[in-house]
């Protein structure tokens, strides 16, 4: 089961994607759909409008989640390249929904005098399907609707200007999220999936979700101790080694670069950097 | 001009508060009111329902802001007590709206085996009134609707379990915000205001917003470089010295404690801690 949010003439609509066909649903986006009904029953909300995959533009999968949690330092090779310690608890920070873009939208990077350190981060991303607090591991898995792809584009200079990452992580219209979620019926607990990021066709990151320090289920369980997770909430599980800031010499994104972010069993984001 | 969000039989409503009288508005909350019209014109939306101050219960001032930004380490005495360096840029992190409570609601603290380090933080808090990006200092001040009071209740053990603060800062139903905002027509740029926090009637924090390292206007200007600030967005400007974690011996909140959080020219939050 694949659920996305497509752009329509009047705004957006949730849609089910199956074998190259996109079936519009009577919900304004995937977040509203998940809040209204379980993923497995959404087929009942088909409007009858069907389109080909090449006819649609995908909006951010959940345009206005109540929470976007990102997890840092969650693959050992990335912890090492960033010069950090392996954490004993998840390293959680937030992103605001104004940062999100669709799967083919431009990444609106700032001019080099504002940030000269725009970096890539492929991340397996959890989408919550039902409300959960103080979850057991079983309840945590049950609360996951499915998984999608995020590139947690990071302005390293802004991220490191203080001890808190937020300012470098929530740049407007820079974080692609999508193109759709794939349900736990297909992807289970999200383990064993290859993750990769290419820049202009050159592979920069290549790993597998088996290398996550804290798994998707661990993260849902952990965060649910702090606050109720709600349908449509987003948890980006962290990125493996190979980011630009960890290279020697360092490499960063510039206007015109094409970033392709792929997770096995889900799909790809393809986004071009455009200087504002 | 004072704008709040009151609880009604059917949910919530925005309201104007004047001289002990609360006049209901035809908006569902203060956030919706600010998104619909400038603060100075909201009187036109009176429903005709008027109540006494002692008859109403205040919900979180903006129940669902698109952003809650908190600023750490923004008074020198607090930087010192926390053993940190004086920052050269604002230390920004986020909080989710599920953390918010009203001005008289209970602070729903976890049991001591979950967190044994629940702490207080009085903060002058900016409420955005109009959309702004890449603001000059003049535009930043113009974008502020007014100021309110937050107590950024912090689970220090969860805050310090990793290098990112979020998990200790967004505990469900622990952050009082309100009772109302007071407009820039009365409070200008938010400088020169006494801020204080009492626990069970004993003063723990007492300072003045003149001691802010980054002022309200600085923070709006800075954050607007990263992302568009929208009406109803919340920026908590940081707390002065005197938190429990900075005391010798350290002191933390327990069930039954009453926390009174006051800012001159705005008002007070009075919240009782109740263990869940």
Burial readout B89-110 (b: 16 or more C-beta within 10 A, e: otherwise): ebbbbbbbbbbbbbbbbbbbbb
Is B227 within 8 Å of A72 when comparing Cβ atoms? no
Percent of chain A with pLDDT over 90: 98
Nearest to A162 among B89, B170, B225 (CB): B89
Distances (CA, A) of A107 to A79, A96, A271: 25, 15, 6
Distance from C-alpha of B31 to C-alpha of B234, rounded to nearest angstrom: 10
CA distance A32 to A14: 8
Q: For residues A95-103, give the mean pLDDT.
A: 98
- Which residues of A fall below an 8 Å CB-CB distance to B? 64, 66-67, 69, 72-73, 84, 87-99, 114, 133, 158, 161-167, 170-172, 222-223, 225-228, 230
**Closest residue, chain A, to B114 (C-alpha):** A225
CB A223 within 8 A of CB A211: no
Mean pLDDT of chain A: 97
CB-closest option in B162, B165, B228 to A89? B162
For residues B56 and B6, the answer to whether their CB atoms sit within 8 Å is yes
* Angle, vertex CA A34, rays to CA B170 and CA A238, nearest 5: 50
CB contact (8 A) between residue A92 and residue B172: no
Instruction: Name the band, by pLDDT with cuts 50, 70 and 90, for residue A119.
Output: very high
C-beta atoms of A226 and B172 within 8 A: yes
Domains for chain A: give ranges and CATH numbers: 2-55 (2.30.30), 68-275 (3.90.850.10)
**Residue with token string 């590139």:** A151
Which residues are paired to B12 by β-bridges?
Answer: B7
Counting one residue from chain A and one from chain B, the pairs whose CB atoms sit within 8 A come to: 111
**B147 upstream amide cis, omega within 30 of 0:** no
B170: DSSP letter:
-
Which tokens in the block code for residue A56? 């649609």
How far apart (Å, rounded) are the C-alpha atoms in residues A61 and A79? 28
Distance, CA of A106 to CA of B199 (rounded, Å)? 50
B161 CB neighbour count, 10 Å cutoff? 19
In which element (H, E) is residue B223 found?
helix B216-226
Report the C-alpha gap between B31 and B13 in whole angstroms.
10
DSSP state of B165: -
Question: B40 to each of B24, B49, B185, B186, B215, how far by Cα in Å?
Answer: 15, 19, 9, 12, 24
Strand partners, B207: B195
Name the nearest CA neighbour of A172 among B250, B125, B110, B131. Answer: B131
Instruction: Name the residue among B118, B65, B63, B121 with its Cα closest to residue B252.
Output: B118
Longest dimension (CA), chain B: 53
The full DSSP string for B48-72 is: EEEEEGGG--BPPSSSS-S-EEEEE
Q: What are the DSSP calls for B89-123, one per residue?
A: S-EEEE--GGGEE-TTS-EEEPPTTT-S-EE--EE
Q: Which phi and psi (to 5°) does residue A181 adopt?
A: -100, 150
Q: Which residue in chain A is spatially nearest to B63 when comparing CA positions? A: A66
CA-nearest residue to A67 within chain B is B96
- Neighbour count for residue A202 (Cβ, 10 Å): 9
Q: B94 and A94 in contact by Cβ < 8 A? A: yes
- Residue B188 has what DSSP assignment? T
Instruction: With beta carbons less than 8 A apart as the criterion, state whether A107 and A153 touch.
Output: yes
Q: Which position has the token pair 């979180």?
A: B60
**Contact between chains at B92 and A225 (C-beta distance less than 8 A):** no
**DSSP 8-state symbol, B253:** -
> What is the three-state SS of chain A?
CEEEEEEECCEEEEEEEECCEEEEECCCCHHHHHHHCCHHHHHHHEEEEEEEHHHCCECCCCCCCCCEEEEECCEHHHHHHCCCCCCCCCEEEECCHHHEECCCCCEEECCCCCCCCEECCEEEEEEECCCECCCCHHHHHHHEEEEEEEECCEEHHHHCCCCCCHHHHCCCCCEEEEEEEEEHHHHCCCCCCEEEEEECCEEEEEEEHHHECCCHHHHHHHHHHHCCECCCCEEECCCCCCCHHHCCCCCCCCCCCEEEEEECCCEEEEEEEEEC
For residues A242 and A203, what is the distance between their CA atoms, to the nearest angstrom? 9
- Asked, as a colleague might, if the bond just before B249 is cis with ω within 30 of 0, I would say yes
Closest CA to B211 of B199, B223, B194, B187: B194
Q: What ipTM score was computed for the predicted complex, to two decimals?
A: 0.97
Core vs surface per residue A100-110: b (16+ CB within 10 A) or e? bbbbbbbbebb
Distance, in Å, from the CA atom of B226 to the CA atom of A172, rounded to the nearest integer, reads: 6
Q: Which residues of B touch A172 (CB under 8 A)?
A: 133, 226-228
How many other CB atoms are there within 10 angstroms of residue A176's CB atom?
A: 29
- Put simply, whether the predicted model's pTM sits higher than 0.90 gets the answer yes
pLDDT one-digit tens code per residue, A21-55: 999 999 999 999 999 999 999 999 999 999 999 99
pLDDT at A276: 87
Residue B176: C-alpha distances to residues B69, B122, B144 (Å): 15, 10, 20
* pLDDT tens per residue across all 276 residues of chain B: 899 999 999 999 999 999 899 999 999 999 999 999 999 999 999 999 999 999 999 999 999 999 999 999 999 999 999 899 899 999 999 999 999 999 999 999 999 999 999 999 999 999 999 999 999 999 999 999 999 999 999 999 999 999 999 999 999 999 999 999 999 999 999 999 999 999 999 999 999 999 999 999 999 999 999 999 999 999 999 999 999 999 999 999 999 999 999 999 999 999 999 998
Spell out where chain B has E strands: 2-8, 11-18, 21-25, 46-52, 68-72, 91-94, 100-101, 107-109, 118-119, 122-128, 144-151, 154-155, 175-183, 194-199, 202-208, 234-236, 258-263, 267-275
B165/A89 Cβ within 8 A? no
């Amino acid at each position: 089961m694949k659920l996305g949010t497509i752009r329509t003439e009047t705004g957006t609509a949730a849609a089910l994607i199956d074998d190259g066909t996109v079936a519009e649903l009577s919900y304004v986006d995937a977040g509203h759909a998940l809040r209204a009904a379980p993923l497995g029953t959404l087929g009942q909300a088909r409007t009858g409008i069907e389109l080909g995959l090449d006819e649609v533009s995908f909006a951010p999968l959940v345009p206005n989640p109540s929470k976007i949690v990102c997890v840092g330092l969650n693959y050992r090779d990335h912890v090492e390249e960033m010069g950090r310690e392996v954490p004993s608890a998840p390293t959680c920070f937030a992103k605001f929904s104004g940062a999100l873009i669709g799967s083919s939208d431009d990444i609106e990077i700032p001019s080099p005098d504002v940030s000269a350190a725009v970096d890539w981060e492929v991340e397996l991303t959890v989408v919550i399907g039902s409300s959960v607090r103080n979850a057991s591991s079983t309840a945590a898995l049950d609360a996951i609707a499915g998984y999608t792809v995020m590139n947690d584009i990071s302005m390293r200079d802004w991220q490191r200007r203080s001890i808190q990452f937020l300012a470098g992580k929530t740049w407007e219209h820079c974080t692609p999220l999508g193109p759709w979620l794939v349900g736990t019926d297909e992807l289970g607990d999200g383990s064993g999936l290859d993750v990769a990021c290419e820049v202009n066709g050159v592979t920069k990151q290549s790993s597998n979700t088996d290398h996550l320090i804290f798994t998707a289920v661990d993260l849902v369980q952990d965060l649910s101790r702090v606050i109720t997770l709600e349908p449509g909430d987003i948890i980006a599980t962290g990125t493996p080694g190979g980011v630009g800031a960890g290279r020697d010499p360092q490499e960063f994104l510039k206007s015109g670069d094409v970033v392709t972010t792929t997770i096995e069993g889900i799909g790809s984001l393809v986004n071009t950097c455009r200087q504002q």
